[in-house]
Homo-oligomer: A and B are copies of this chain.
Amino acid sequence: MADLNLLRELSLEGDTRIVMLVLDGLGGLPREPGGPTELEFARTPNLDRLAAESMLGLSIPIGNGLTPGSGPGHMALFGYDPVRFLIGRGVLEALGIGFALTPADLAARGNFCTVDAEMRITDRRAGRIPTATCAELVEKLRAIRLEGVEIFVEPVQDYRFALIFRGPGLSARLNETDPQKTGVPPLPVAAQAEEARRAAEIANRWIAAAREILKAERPANMVTLRGWATEPGLPRFDEVYKLKAQALAVYPMYKGLAMLVGMNVLQGLRRLEDQLEALRANWTSYDFFFIHYKYTDSRGEDGNFEAKAAEIEKVDAVIPQILALKPDVLIVTGDHSTPAAWKAHSWHPVPTLIHAPGRSRRNAVTGFGETECLKGVLGQFPAVDLMPMALAFAGRMAKFGA
């Protein structure tokens, strides 16, 4: 695995273009022993044809046996060690609703909960109140003002909201207030390091004010706060890779992750066609494009094998449009596997294809799928190696040492 400092030293400016097409949760499992996976079941004539003239392999997002969340899965694709560059849940929650974080922000994930007269939690999710109720309560909580910090409260979904304190010197070294069980009161926020004393004080004052506002409500009459995190200050694509990168994503979370690594994020994209249209429109203005397709993961999480395969087919249909732009390097991969059989993310390696005309060795493969990828020239490799390979195949890496 290449060190970022080494990549920073070796990466070169260039007039070549790289497209990274990420089918979220692409990897899968057979429905019955010996059967095809979702990708193998899907009719993908374009990807199959491309596979025969590309390099195939399987990328390992974090490590064998380790199932990545969306944050680590994408950090690995972006070339950043996902264990070292861990993104806190509070930050992911804020990114997921499109909140533009700044380096001065301390973010937490909030849950509305129910407490009894003795402040003991009776329901950690307040009966899973609907999102509309969540939004109404959040509106009330926005009245809270505290000296020295700007405060943002944003509804997320059901009983979940995002809380952001903005101000100087706010450390995330705080404990979570959710005791993870009922019958006991929420925990107070305590600083886990001297540097976090001020943040703890602010958090406790905010919680007290929130309780004041919520005490007459039913069932959501209290809050818990989890996943304290600050903006992670990640290395940027332009300074590490010398790439001018653009993200073409629909979902806020992935736009947010792209923003964290310094990509330009195009807003307002709703469908795959919008993403393709934007790719064409911006082709000469950027040299790296991250295209994110969410629904393969969504249908995998639903446990719907055929629907996931159908989503893969939709992406297959636009491959010729990408190839028409003649990218120097086209990567087709996923951030992790989401087998429909599991209805969840998994650690299984992810089918990956690198198309780099004139720079490839041949595979003896017949199409794009988990089993064929095993025969590919890329072998099984750490997902963080994708970026150095993309740069190398795009002619944008200097020789190491004389």
Residues of A within 8 A of B (CB): 1-3, 6, 10, 29-30, 33-35, 37, 53, 58, 62-72, 82-83, 86-87, 89, 92-93, 227, 341-342, 344-348, 357-362, 364, 370-371, 374-375, 377, 379-381, 385, 387-393, 397-402
Indicate whether A379 sits within 8 Å of B377 (C-beta atoms), given known contacts A64-B389, A345-B399, A401-B68.
no
Residues on B with beta carbons closer than 8 Å to the beta carbon of A399: 67-69, 344-345
Contact check: which of B227, B398, B402 meets A92 at CB < 8 Å?
B402
Chain B residues within 8 Å of A391, by CB: 65
Residues in chain B near residue A87, CB distance under 8 A: 401-402
Residue of B83, B379, B397, B402 near A380 (CB, 8 A) is B379
Contacts of A400 in B (CB 8 A): 62, 66-69, 72, 82-83
Complex Cα spacing A385 to B93, Å: 31
CB-CB under 8 A from A345, the residues of chain B are 399
A53 touches B68 (CB 8 A): no
Contact check, A348 vs B361: say whether CB atoms are below 8 A apart.
yes
Which of A29, A83, A87, A402 has most chain B Cβ within 10 Å? A402
Q: How far is the CA of A11 from the CA of B302 in the complex (A)?
A: 25
Q: Which residue, of A1, A86, A346, A362, has the highest number of chain B Cβ atoms within 10 A?
A: A362
Q: In whole angstroms, what is the CA distance A160 to B71 when docked?
A: 50
- A33: nearest chain-B partner, CB-CB: B53
Q: Are B6 and A362 in contact (CB under 8 A)?
A: no
Q: Which residues of B contact A401 (CB under 8 A)?
A: 68-72, 82, 86-87
Closest chain B CB from A386 CB (angstroms):
8
A389 to chain B, nearest CB (A): 4
Chain B residues whose CB sits within 8 angstroms of the CB of A68 once the complex forms: 399-401
Assess the B65–A392 pair: CB atoms within 8 A: yes
Flag if A361 contacts B29 (CB, 8 Å): yes
A2 touches B69 (CB 8 A): no
A86 to chain B, nearest CB (A): 6
B402 touches A69 (CB 8 A): yes
The interface residues of chain B lying within 8 Å CB-to-CB of A397 are 65-67, 347
Residues of B within 8 A of A370 (CB): 361, 377
Contact A341 B361 (CB under 8 A): no
- A130 vs B361: C-alpha distance in the bound complex, in angstroms? 40
